[in-house]
Amino acid sequence: MPRILVGSVYFQHLDPARWAERQPFPPLGTLYAAGTLQAGGHDVHFFDAMIAGAVTDWNARVAAVRPDIAVLYDDNFNYLSKMCLAAMRAAALDMIAAARAAGARVAICSADAADHPDLYLDAGAGAVIVGEGEATLAELAAAWRAGGEDLSAIRGLAWRSAGITVRTPRREVLRDLDALPPPAWELVDMAAYRQIWRRHHGVFALNLVTSRGCPYSCNWCAKPIWGQGYAVRGARAVAEELARLVRLAAPDYIWFMDDIMGLKPRWWRDFAAAVEELGVKVPFKCLSRADLVLRDGAVEDLKRAGCDIVWLGAESGSQAILDAMDKDLTTGEIAEATARLRAAGIRVGHFLQFGYPGEGMGEIAETLALLRATRPDELGISVSYPLPGTVFHDRVQSQLREKRHWDVSSDMAMLYRGPYTTAFYRHLHAYVHRDFRLRRAVAQLRDALMGRGNAGGHLRALAFIAYCGVAIPLSWVRLHLLRLMPHPAVGGTGAS
C-alpha cells in the first residue's frame, strides 16, 4: 500500500505576530483531507506545520516516512490561509522540492496554488487541487496509486500534460457535509497543543467547523472554493463531533471556524438543544453577522449553547463605506447586535478594515465613534487587501503595487494606492488599538472605584491611563502628519 504524507503549509513560527500570540489550532482542513484518504484505504501520515519548528522538520518527516505521495494541503477554514503570505509560499515551494527530491509525487491544495498553479507545478508539484479538495484528492490518490499518468478525467485540477498546464473542469462543491469522513483527529499531537495553550493561556482550545461558504457578497471577500454556495452540517452531528473531541482531548474552549456561523434559521437553537442533551457545553467563539445575531431568539440560543464571544465583521463605522463594500449591513445593526450580545453576557469582537476606496478622515472618525459607542470587548484591525477574484481587486487593479502579498499576517502594507500610505495605516492600527485599550482601562478603573475587580488590575489600568495621557495626543499628531505624506509612484513596493 503506498504511503501518503499529508502536511499543512501554514508555519506559525514564520508569522511573528501570530507566533507571539501562541494560539495554534490544528489545521482542520488538512485533517479532513487526511480523514478522506484514510477512508479510501490509504496509509496516511501527517505533518503539522502549525506547531513545527522549521521547514526542515518537513524534510525530516519526509525522510522518516519515505512517502510515495506527498500532499500539501492548506487549512482553508483558517482565515490566515486567505492571504497569500510570502513566507508561506516560500515554505511550500521548499516542501515540494524536498518531497520531490525524496522521490514522492506531490499534490498541493491551497488558495495561492489555485491562483498561481504554474509556480507550484514548476517547483515540482504533479497536480494542484483547485476548489474544494476532498473528493478531488481521493480521486487523484486513487489514480496515482493505480499508476495513472493521465489526470484529465479528474475534475478540479491543474496539472501538466506534455509540458502544457491543463485545468480540468471545476468540481461541484459538496452539499451533504455530514457524509464526509471525519477529520483525522487521532493524527494530531494533542499533548503539544495542550502544553502551548495551557502554558500561555491557561486553557486548551481546539477548533471545529459547522458550515462551508457564505452566500453574502461583500466585494473584497474572496471565495475561491465555495463561491456563493453555502452548506451546513446538522446541528446534532456537530454536537456529536464535539462530544467525540471532548472524549479524545478534553478541550476547554472551541473555535468554530465558519466564515459565518448560524446562517440557517434555528440552527443555533438546535445546536443548543443537542449540546444540552449530550452534556457537552464547551465555551466557544465564532464569527457571524450582526443581522443574524439580531434574529429572534438568536442571542438566547447562543448563550444556551455556550458562546463566549461572537466576532462580527463590523468593518467600518461609515454607512457609505459599508455600502461601497456591498456589506448589506447597517451601522445600526452592528451597534444593536453588539449591545444585545453584551447584555446577554456574551463578549463581542469587532473586525475593522481601514483603507477601502473612498474612506477619508471623516469616515475613519465615524469608525472610531462606532467603536467608542459600542465598546466591543476585542478588536481586530486590518487594511483592505485586494484578493484575486474579487470585485474590489478588479476595481483597484490599475493601482496595484509591485508588492502583491503580505510577508506575514501583520504586515498591513497597502497593496494598492489606497487613500493614504502604508505608514499611515500602520500607525492608525497602533493608534486605534491604544485608544481602545485606554477606554477599556478606564472602564476597569471605574470598576475599581465601585469596588469590583482586583487590585493588581487596577494598578495596571492606572499606569496605562497615565501612559496614554501622553502617548495618545502625540500619536494623533503623528497620524495627521502621516496623512500628508505623498504616495510613492504606483508600481512601488507599497511598503512606505
Stretch that binds ligand SF4, among 41-49, 97-105, 159-167, 214-222 (CB under 6 A): 214-222
**Quick check: 260 binds ligand SF4 (CB under 6 A)?**
yes
Residue carrying the nine cell digits 497543543:
193
Instruction: Please give the size of the binding site for ligand SF4, defined by CB under 6 A.
Output: 8
> Could you tell me the smallest distance in angstroms from the CB atom of residue 260 to ligand SF4?
5
Give the other-Cβ count within 10 Å of 20's Cβ: 11
Residues 6+ apart with CB under 8 A from 79: none
For ligand SF4, which is the closer residue by CB, 348 or 479? 348
Which residues 6+ apart lie within 8 Å of 409 measured at CB? 15, 17, 18, 80, 83, 85
User: Closest separation between CB of residue 96 and ligand SF4, Å?
Assistant: 30
Q: State the minimum distance, in angstroms, from the CB of residue 36 to ligand SF4.
A: 24
Run of H or E including 67: none
**58: Cβ contacts below 8 Å, ≥ 6 apart:** 7, 47, 49, 52, 94, 95, 98
Choices 146-154, 216-224, 240-248, 425-433 (CB under 6 A): range interacting with ligand SF4 = 216-224
**Among residues 44, 214, 312, 479, which is the contact residue for ligand SF4, using CB under 6 A?**
214
178 residue type, one letter:
D
- Say which residues have a Cβ less than 8 Å from residue 43's Cβ, sequence separation at least 6: 1, 2, 3, 4
Which amino acid is located at 387 in the chain? L
- Measured from the CB atom, is 218 or 381 closer to ligand SF4? 218
Closer Cβ to ligand SF4, 216 or 385, answer by number: 216
Residue 17 C-beta-side C-alpha neighbours within 13 Å: 9
The reply to whether 392 sits near ligand SF4 by the rule CB under 6 A is: no
DSSP reduced 3-state for 362: helix
| Maximum Cα–Cα distance across the chain | 76
Among 2-10, 79-87, 212-220, 483-491, the segment contacting ligand SF4 (CB under 6 A):
212-220
Beta-sheet pairing, 157-161 with 211-213:
unpaired
At its nearest, how many Å lie between ligand SF4 and the CB of residue 144? 34
In the complex, minimum distance from the CB of residue 289 to ligand SF4, in angstroms, rounded to a whole number: 6
Length, in residues, of the chain = 496
Q: What share of the chain is helix, strand, coil (3-state, %, to 5)?
A: 45, 15, 35
What cell was used for 434?
491604544
Subset of residues 179 to 208 that bind ligand SF4, contact rule: CB under 6 A: none
CB of 381 to ligand SF4, least distance (A): 15
CB of 188 to ligand SF4, least distance (A): 26
DSSP state at residue 489: P
- In the block, cell 493521465 appears at 150
- The answer to whether residue 216 forms part of the interface with ligand SF4 (CB under 6 A) is yes
Contact between 221 and ligand SF4 by CB under 6 A: the answer reads yes
User: By C-beta, is 243 or 391 nearer to ligand SF4?
Assistant: 391
**Toward ligand SF4, which CB reaches closer, 196 or 310?**
310
> Closest CB to ligand SF4 among 260 and 379?
260
Least separation in angstroms between residue 147's CB and ligand SF4 is 41
Asked whether the beta carbons of 27 and 50 are under 8 A apart, the reply is yes
Stretch 299-338: interaction string toward ligand SF4, x if CB under 6 A: --------------x-------------------------
Question: Which one of residues 68, 74, 139, 259 is an interface residue with ligand SF4 (CB under 6 A)?
Answer: 259
Judged by CB under 6 A, the stretch of 86-94, 174-182, 213-221, 372-380 that binds ligand SF4 is 213-221
Cell numbers for 326, please give them: 456591498
Is 289 near ligand SF4 (CB under 6 A)?
A: yes
Distances (CA, A) of 360 to 354, 417, 424, 472, 489: 10, 13, 12, 20, 20
Shortest CB 290 distance to ligand SF4, Å: 10
Q: Quick check: 382 and 412 in contact, CB under 8 A?
A: yes
- The residue within the footprint of ligand SF4, chosen from 109, 218, 238, 438 (CB under 6 A), is 218
- Residue 162 belongs to what H/E stretch? none
Amino acid at 172: E
The residues of the shown chain that bind ligand SF4, judged by CB under 6 A, are: 214, 216, 218, 221, 259-260, 289, 313
